[in-house]
Amino acid sequence: MPRPLVLVLGDQLTPALASLRDLPEDAVVALCEVAAEGRYVPHHPQKIALMLSAMRHFAQALRERGLCVHYSALDDPDNAQALVPEAERLAALYGCDEIRAVRPGEWRLWQAMREREHAALPWRLLEDDRFFTTPADFGAWMQGRKAPRMEHFYRQQRRRTGLLMEDGQPAGGRWNYDHDNREPLPEALEIPEPPRHRRDAVTEEVLALVAEHFGEHFGRLEGFHWPVTRRQALVDLRHFLARLLPDFGRYQDAIRDDAPFLFHSRLSAALNLGLLSSREVCEAAEREYREGRAPLNSVEGFIRQILGWREYVRGLYWTRMPDYKRGNALNAEGDLPACYWSGDTELRCLSRAIEMTRDNAYAHHIQRLMVTGNVALLCDVSPEALCDWYLAVYADACEWVELPNTLGMVLHADGGLMGSKPYCASGKYIDRMSDHCRHCRYDPRRVTGPDACPLNSLYWRFLERHAETLSANPRMKLIYGSLARMGDAKRSAMREQAEAFLAALPRSSAWRQAGDEPERRRHLAGYVSVPSEETP
Ligand code: FAD
Ligand code: DLZ
């Protein structure tokens, strides 16, 4: 009788996982906290705490189902502190004859596991069937397509799943209601607060552990209120359906200076960890439409993000890696602006997005794409530097979803697989979609001069710099027409303004909260006793 060791990763926390179905009686299920996963990029402390607390709760739930579970805690003295060696150590300890694992969310781990498939203690790798499509399904869909587009993939997914379909036609007669989803927020609109989950003893212990081991990473712990169990994730789902979904669509593209979450669901982390399934979330949203509680533009917009974008980026990731990660179609070589680790910038939109990221391990999609993403695009930040940042700072970050969004959607570094044009924008866009500019020292209507919003001159510089690659793009004809009509003097003044901004921009890949010890001590207070410099 074979005795497998079943390794369950931190983002595979569901009993429906392929490796947890039909388990032989004496299988050992292993969950392993390891330092290597917390440090390969400097993850936000809230992200690490979420992962470890959710893993500990899930291990307990599996034990309650009667399974034999080994849990390697971060400070176990024998812990090998990296996933593959730790699983092999445990397999030897329990006398197992193979290790089973479901496809992880990152290529580097998949490769490390595949290299061990024919080892003396072999690894058996299973497909992750928690998604609507597998990489093989996506590969088949891509076959022969010269210009694959998410929208075509999405329509096929709607037909295949029957979500929002009526007699073979899209509900309401249209596939896409994006056009209705671009309203700026009315000033006085009240935005519901997200649920605050009770922190039990397990979570409190993890918060202290994370503060102790990873307290120097960028990000604050005290705002932690992520769901760490399926029950808590269901509370968040119900909150979204009842309070947020009806307005999700129309304010989907809005940004507000004092509101980090708006009408977004905050479900990505629970989805990526496995606490919720993408199918149940889409079906629940569809029910809100069918039963008349949410309008079609909201429900379609929400389902498109999950059934469309989420599946599309995963398909791209698994069918294009490892080459995908080397893409740099616009030859961007710059380091990250130092303010991405400090929030210290006079650009109000950028400083608020970074502060919200630091406080919540979250920024909504438009902040990621049109603020931190756009600034990085306009400042020639390299894909590698930017991807490492996004992978580190968000609670939902996992390379299969982060990489295509950053390298492809934000930086256009995949040459247009993710988007048919770069999402570059000037200060005028930020002014239209947000209230940041009224708190900013820069003027979004000015392009040159000391008060001009730097995004304006950077925007035109970007277009000039990439004219050879982008000007033939039919979706950019209009804007290149405007550039062509500008006089030489105006163009050179804009160019000079942008170059001066870039020359003065401090850049740094150093991620520690350098020189911030008193601040750090204040934010870790209550979780760990950080020795004070004043104390002898
Ligand atoms: P909502 O706005 O409520 O959207 C609902 C759900 O749709 C999300 O929970 C998510 O599962 C899915 N979704 C929405 N947009 C996308 C998208 N573009 N790609 C894939 N799924 C999407 N998402 C991650 O889950 N992990 C990441 O590491 C990640 N990195 C990103 C990096 C950049 C540069 C950008 C532009 C986007 C990134 N996204 C990532 C996608 C998206 O921004 C987040 O999924 C979303 O902001 C999460 O918040 P929410 O749950 O409130 O989303
Ligand atoms: C992100 C993360 C962290 C911080 N820690 C762990 C861990 O200790 N153990 C674990 O199994 N997974 C962790 N993860 C999630 C993994 O990085 C993730 O499973 C891989 O990146 C593949 O998706």
| Residue with CA nearest ligand 2 atom 9 | 33
Predicted confidence band of residue 521 (pLDDT cuts 50, 70, 90)? very low
Q: What is the 3-state secondary structure (H, E, C) of 454-479?
A: HHHHHHHHHHHHCHHHHCCCHHHHHH
What local confidence, expressed as pLDDT, does residue 238 receive? Answer: 98
Q: Is the pTM of this model over 0.85?
A: yes
Residue 186 Cα to ligand 1 midpoint, Å, equals 24
pLDDT at residue 352 is higher than 90: yes
pLDDT tens per residue across span 437-467: 999 999 999 999 999 999 999 999 999 999 9
Ligand 1 pocket test target in 178, 247, 396, 403 with most atoms within 8 Å of CB: 396
Topology annotation, domain 328-511? DNA Cyclobutane Dipyrimidine Photolyase, subunit A; domain 3 (1.10.579)
What local confidence, expressed as pLDDT, does residue 525 receive? Answer: 41
Residue 398 Cα to ligand 2 midpoint, Å, equals 9
Tell me how far apart the alpha carbons of residues 8 and 10 are, in angstroms, rounded to a whole number.
7
Identify the H or E element spanning 153. Answer: helix 150-161
Q: Which atom of ligand 2 is nearest to the CA of 11?
A: 19
Average pLDDT on 275-303 reads 98
Identify the H or E element spanning 245. Answer: helix 245-248
Does residue 396 line the site of ligand 1, with CB under 6 A?
A: yes
Predicted confidence band of residue 249 (pLDDT cuts 50, 70, 90)? very high
Does residue 365 line the site of ligand 1, with CB under 6 A?
A: yes
356: number of Cβ within 10 Å: 22
One-letter amino acid of 255: I
What local confidence, expressed as pLDDT, does residue 520 receive? Answer: 46
What local confidence, expressed as pLDDT, does residue 32 receive? Answer: 98
Q: Which atom of ligand 1 is nearest to the CA of 240?
A: 3
Distances (CA, A) of 99 to 15, 34, 66, 89, 95: 18, 17, 20, 11, 11
Does residue 268 line the site of ligand 1, with CB under 6 A?
A: yes
Predicted confidence band of residue 522 (pLDDT cuts 50, 70, 90)? very low
What distance lies between CA 310 and its chain's CA centroid? 10
96 and 122 Cβ atoms separated by less than 8 Å: no
What local confidence, expressed as pLDDT, does residue 511 receive? Answer: 59
| Residue 532 CB burial class (10 angstroms; 0-12, 13-18, ≥19) | exposed
| Weakest-pLDDT range from 10-19, 49-58, 200-209, 514-523 | 514-523
pLDDT at residue 290 is higher than 50: yes
Q: Structural domain boundaries of the chain?
A: 4-130, 135-198+222-320, 328-511
Residue 267, both tokens: 């479900």
| Protein residues with CB under 6 Å of any ligand 2 atom | 9-11, 32-34, 37-38, 43, 48, 51, 83, 104-106, 109, 398
Q: Within a 13 Å sphere around the CA of 417, how many CA atoms are in the beta-carbon half?
A: 23
Q: Which atom of ligand 1 is nearest to the CA of 396?
A: 26
Is CATH 3.40.50.620 the right assignment for the domain spanning 4-130?
Answer: yes
| Residue 480 CB burial class (10 angstroms; 0-12, 13-18, ≥19) | middle
Ligand 1 pocket test target in 266, 273, 279, 305 with most atoms within 8 Å of CB: 305
What distance lies between CA 436 and its chain's CA centroid? 23
443: number of Cβ within 10 Å: 16
pLDDT tens per residue across span 116-130: 999 999 999 999 999
pLDDT at residue 516 is higher than 70: no
458 and 374 Cβ atoms separated by less than 8 Å: no
Predicted confidence band of residue 92 (pLDDT cuts 50, 70, 90)? very high
Identify the H or E element spanning 2. Answer: none
Residue 436, both tokens: 């940041």
Residue with structure tokens 């044009």? 421
Q: What is the 3-state secondary structure (H, E, C) of 489-512?
A: HHHHHHHHHHHHHHHHCCECCCCC
Residue 228 Cα to ligand 2 midpoint, Å, equals 15
Residue 46 Cα to ligand 2 midpoint, Å, equals 13
Helices (H), 373-453: 374-378, 383-393, 399-403, 427-433
Which ligand is in closest contact with the Cα of 387? 1
Q: Which atom of ligand 1 is nearest to the CA of 409?
A: 36
Which ligand is in closest contact with the Cα of 213? 2
Residue 171 Cα to ligand 1 midpoint, Å, equals 24
Is CATH 1.25.40.80 the right assignment for the domain spanning 135-198+222-320?
Answer: yes
Identify the H or E element spanning 26. Answer: none
